[in-house]
Each structure stands twice: as structure tokens, then as C-alpha cells.
Amino acid sequence: MCGIMGYIGNRQAQSVLTNGLRKLEYRGYDSAGIAVFTGETIAVRKKTGRLAALEQQLAASPLHGSLGIGHTRWATHGRPSDENAHPHVDQSGKFSIVHNGIIENYLALKRELLEKGVTFTSETDTEVIVHLLAELYAGDLVEAVLQLTRKIRGAYALGVITEHEPDKLVAVRVASPLIIGLGDGENFIGSDIPAVLEYTRDVCILEDGDLAILTKDDVTILNIDTKQLINRERVQIDWDQEQAEKAGYDHYMLKEIYEQPRALRNSMAGRIDEAGKTVTFSGLQLRPLLNDIDKVFIVACGTAYHAGLVGKHVIERLARLPVEVDVASEFRYRRPLISEKTLTIVVSQSGETADTLAALREAKRLGSNVLAITNVVGSSIAREADRVITTLAGPEIAVASTKAYTTQLLVFYLLGIYLAQERQTLDEQLRIALIEALQQLPEQVESILANADEIRLFAESIKQEKSIFFIGRGIDYAVSLEGSLKLKEISYIHSEAYAAGELKHGTLALIEEGTRVIALATQEELYEKMLSNIKEVKARGATVLGISSAKTIELHRAVDEVWLIPSTYPLFTPILSVIPLQLIAYYTSLALGNDVDKPRNLAKSVTVE
């Protein structure tokens, strides 16, 4: 990840590539690079940091040629560095590629290539692709790329060039976005439409399994499995630049809500074995610690803290380890009882959250091993933790977190299953069933997103409310907290979440005729108790929206409106039940005319205590 640009035509590729990459800066990145065929060889320039650093390098040592590929990288495998930046080349320097996505089986492929004497210069999964491509090449670039797609497994978008065939630019899409820009005597590839808008408004959006062969005068598209020619619709883009960055969505937050299925798939990639029976975290090296761990702390702030509350349920239920969850800003000051037998898990989208970073340092000072869950590979938290699991959500621009939260949940699910299988606290048959259910979650999220219209209507009905309550029991209470936070931070409507069993201990005093209540009822073992709590607020005049996967007459009779989510294991419902809550917050803020992406008084990354 994160941005791809490619060009073939008559212009100087260097300026086209850097201009295109600049239009993709909004996606977030930690390094940038380009590769250009100069007429004799493929020359590469790449640099850690902002695009400006690359442009300074190019000003001192420009590249001349009309075929090239470029990339802005969001680190996944390997820290941000010049060596890990894209494009990558093979040992001969005759092949170059850029890549977005994850190659799940890269370690096995890397071992095979090392045994054959291939020398690697980076820590990335991407470098495996270019060495493998060079090995497969036998005079036909397209055929070599087709063979390559049969050997690599995962999610990827590729841009490929070789000095052997300087009249071609080859692109492939498998579960990672890629578009073609169609020009006059020139053609382009890009990971998003803004990359090409300066040069053309005619685009073709590749679909999964498409391989595109670009020359300066033509574009041919094949299916990678059947090799059959495919006609893809030419679309004329009439968006302005800002709209294009949002892929046509009105706001980054809405775009990021709809990106969640892909983010979940990316975060799962390479972490479930091919047979779908075990969870694996390559390089995590947690196993040596497991016999000594007797307690887990989860420490985070805001939305990440809410993910940690779900993580507590998951780890305790599956791995049978006691878990405490702390708000990071409070953690240091209560003198937590931590020892070398404690595993501290810190969670942060940005990896720069000041309170969480301070908590990490305190945990290490007290002798704890620290595992970080973060979305940013080269962040301070990622560097200072003993072990890191990246969420692979991709850059999140809107202040209100959505896809970072659901991918944090997914990592907790994977981690819980991993700890359980290592500690042998989970029946194998149940573990396999849980993994299968996890793999279905992205598609189930898509099914919820496909029915967002009723949520928009609900948001219109609550925009004038002064106070809204969320209630739930067990793991639903953790999700209620997140739903309440989302609503208050971007709509500015006062909102509170309560454990439903606590209503009678004071909160019912706030319920009066017409009070709006959103009730989560997804936990089968607590279902009857939750119905009783719903009836308590109804009896005092509340208007109740119920969110559940249970199609029962009792629930329909108890509430004013029901939204059903797909059925899954009770532990996994938070990923599904939070989607309508995110959309409620978004559409309510929209209805009120607020700045959805930049709510007042808030910042994306909290870097001060």
C-alpha cells in the first residue's frame, strides 16, 4: 500500500508519475518512488518520507523516458525505509514492479527463492513478486505475469514493466483497487481516479481477476484464469479533484465506512492457514511467552479502548486468561500491578497516541512484555513495543474512526483464537468453525452496507433530539459505547451508553415520554434479560430501535423498530452491529449540516496528554 501510478506514452514519465502520486497523497504514505525505462535500462529513484524528498532527488538526478511506474507506500511488511520503498527490481535490474496489498504466502516463496540463490534487499513481501517474475519470464511478459498470479496468493494490485518489452505496461487487480486512464497516444494506471484526472477523464475500472496490457495506443484486458478477452465499460469522470479523492463519496468517513469489507479482508490476509484451520502470526514469537503469562492488560484511548473492551471478552472466553482493560490516560497513575508475567496489549490507530505511548513505556518499565496493535508500521508505538500486529486498515482520514475500529476487533478475534490454540483451551472443531465465521464477516458487512437507506431515514428522525441512549448487555455494551461515541463526536447530540442491567440503578430517572433509545440485543445467552430491559424503558415512554440478529416475535413486539444484522457467532457480532451505528452517526451529522470529517475540537491523532 498505498498509491500506484503508471504511464506509457510520449510524455516524460517522470513528471506524469510524480504528479499522479501527488494526487494520491491524501491516502497517507511513508515513502515514495518511481521506476522509468530510460531507453537502455530501468532506473529507479525512491526515498523515505514525503514526495517532496523524492522530487529533490529527481531534480538532482532526473530520469528520462516515456514508460514508468510509481508508488507511495504505506508500510505493511517492513519498516519505512529507502530499501523497503517501491518500486522493486529483480537482481538483474531488468524487471520492476509496484504493488498494493498483501501476499499471504510470501514467506514460503521467499524461502524457495533464497534456496535458489536469490539475494533480497528489502523486508517486504513485494520483493518476492519481482524475483519470481524474473524467474518465470521466458520471452513473454504477459504469460509470465499470468503464471505469477497462479503462484502468489493474497490481495494485490500490480504494475509491471520490463526492459525486455518496453512497449508494454502490465497491470493486475486481485482484491485491491486499480483503474486505467485512457488517453490519446498514452495510457495510465492508478490505484485511484485522482491520479489520472490531470491527463484524462476517461477511465476503465478493473475488476477482480483482470489483467490489463497497456501500450501507448491500446489497452487489452484479459481474465487471469481463462485468458479470455474482457470488455470493461469506459467511464467519463465529472468529479472535481476533492470528490475524486473520496472516490465519489461525499465524505471520507462514508468512504471509509464502505472500505471496511476490504480492510477486514486485508487484515485477515496471511493470518489464517490455507486449510482454514489455524491462525498464524508470522514473526510474532508469542509462543515462548505463553507458559509464563498469567494476566493480560489492554490499554487504549477512545475508540481503540472500546475495541479493547471487546478484546477482553474474546481473550477471556477463548484463551481463558484474565484480562483488565484500562483507559491509557488513567493507566500510569493508578500504579497497576504488573510483572514480567503480564502481557500488556496497547491499541492505537495512529501509533502516536501520547497517553497510550506513555502507558506502553510504563508497562515496559514494570517488566511487562508489550504487544502493540496499530495501523501504522513505522509509528512510535510500533517501534517501542516488543511485538506488533498491524491492522492493515489502510490510511484513515476522517477524524471519526470506523475501519480502524473494525480491523482492531478483527485482530482481537485472530489473537484470541491464536492464544487459545497455543494454550489448547479451544476445541479444534469449534476453532475451525470460528475461523470459517471470521472469513464470512467481510461479505456480511457488505450486506449491511447494501441496505443503508433505512438508516438515513432514522437519522433524519433523530436530528433534533437533545439526548439519545444506547443500551446493551455483555459484549453489546462495549459496542453501545462505541455507537454513542460516534454519534456525539460528529453530530454533537448528547449521547450515553449504559449496561442495560444498570438501568434500574438510577438511569431510568432519565427516561421519559419520547426518549430515544437504541438497544443492542445480539447475545443469545442474554437475550431474555435484554428484552426485560427494553420493556423497562418502553414502560416509561421511550421510543426504541432494536438491533439484533434474532428474528423473534418478542423483540418485534417489544420495540418500535427492528434492524436485523446477519447471524454469526455471538463473539463476532460487534463487527456487524457497529456498522449501522456508524451510519446513524454519519447521516445524523450530515442532516445537521456539520463538517462530518472534521468535527469541532477534535484531532485525528492525539499526540499530547
Query: In whole angstroms, what is the distance from residue 122 CA to residue 427 CA?
Result: 39
pTM as predicted: 0.79
Buried b (16+ CB within 10 A) or exposed e, 216-255: beebebbebeeeeeeebeeeebeeeeebbbbbeeebbbbb
468 is a domain residue = yes
- For cell 510474532, what's the residue? 284
Do residue 320 and residue 456 come from a single domain? Answer: no
471 is a domain residue = yes
Do residue 276 and residue 378 come from a single domain? Answer: yes
Q: Give the SS3 label for residue 482.
A: helix
Do residue 559 and residue 425 come from a single domain? Answer: no
604 is a domain residue = no
Do residue 520 and residue 504 come from a single domain? Answer: yes
Q: How many distinct structural domains can be found in the chain?
A: 3
- 267 phi, psi to nearest 5 deg: -70, -20
End-to-end Cα, the chain, rounded Å: 31
Residue positions annotated with a catalytic role: 2, 604
Do residue 442 and residue 457 come from a single domain? Answer: no
pLDDT of residue 608: 43
- 189 phi, psi to nearest 5 deg: -120, 150
181 is a domain residue = yes
Do residue 457 and residue 441 come from a single domain? Answer: no
Q: Write down which residue in 394, 415, 446 finishes a domain.
A: 446
Q: Give the SS3 label for residue 24.
A: coil
**Which DSSP string do the residues of 196-240 spell out, in sequence order?**
TTTT-SEEEE--TTEEEEE-SS-EEEEETTT--B----EEE----
606 is a domain residue = no
**Which DSSP string do the residues of 493-542 spell out, in sequence order?**
-EEEEEEGGGGGGTGGGG--TT-EEEEE---GGGHHHHHHHHHHHHTTT-
User: Which neighbouring-strand residues pair with 170?
Assistant: 160, 213
Do residue 228 and residue 292 come from a single domain? Answer: no
Query: In whole angstroms, what is the distance from residue 424 CA to residue 322 CA?
Result: 16
CATH number of the domain within which 7 lies:
3.60.20.10
- 567 phi, psi to nearest 5 deg: -80, 135
Do residue 54 and residue 190 come from a single domain? Answer: yes
**Which DSSP string do the residues of 273-308 spell out, in sequence order?**
-TTSS-B--TT---HHHHTT--EEEEEE-HHHHHHH
Task: Say if strands 202-205 and 467-472 run parallel, antiparallel, or are unpaired.
Answer: unpaired
Query: In whole angstroms, what is the distance from residue 359 CA to residue 293 CA?
Result: 19
Do residue 224 and residue 339 come from a single domain? Answer: no
Query: In whole angstroms, what is the distance from residue 53 CA to residue 589 CA?
Result: 38
Do residue 66 and residue 168 come from a single domain? Answer: yes
Do residue 139 and residue 73 come from a single domain? Answer: yes
598 is a domain residue = no
Query: In whole angstroms, what is the distance from residue 189 CA to residue 7 CA?
Result: 7
Q: Write down which residue in 400, 427, 446 finishes a domain.
A: 446
603 is a domain residue = no
Q: How far lies 594's CA from each of 469, 489, 585, in Å?
A: 21, 11, 11
Domain span at residue 575 reads 451-591
Residue type at position 383: R
Query: In whole angstroms, what is the distance from residue 287 CA to residue 285 CA?
Result: 6
Is 530 within 8 Å of 479 (Cβ atoms)? no
Do residue 279 and residue 234 come from a single domain? Answer: no
Q: For residue 261, give every residue at least 6 positions away whose Cβ sits within 8 Å of its Cβ, in sequence order, or none.
A: 442, 443, 445, 446, 449
Q: What is the 3-state secondary structure (H, E, C) of 230-279?
A: CCCCEEECCCCHHHHHCCCCCCHHHHHHHCHHHHHHHHHCCCECCCCCCE
Report mean pLDDT in 10-residue bins for the chain, 609 residues. 89 97 82 96 95 95 97 86 96 96 91 96 95 98 98 93 98 91 97 90 92 98 96 85 79 95 92 90 80 92 97 96 95 88 93 89 94 86 92 88 97 96 93 96 96 89 94 96 97 95 86 93 91 92 92 85 94 97 97 92 60
542 is a domain residue = yes
pLDDT of residue 365: 93
CATH number of the domain within which 400 lies:
3.40.50.10490
Q: Write down which residue in 245, 274, 289 finishes a domain.
A: 245
Is 481 within 8 Å of 309 (Cβ atoms)? yes
Is 311 within 8 Å of 323 (Cβ atoms)? yes
Query: Helix 403-423 to helix 573-591 angle, to the nearest 10 degrees?
Result: 170
pLDDT of residue 282: 78
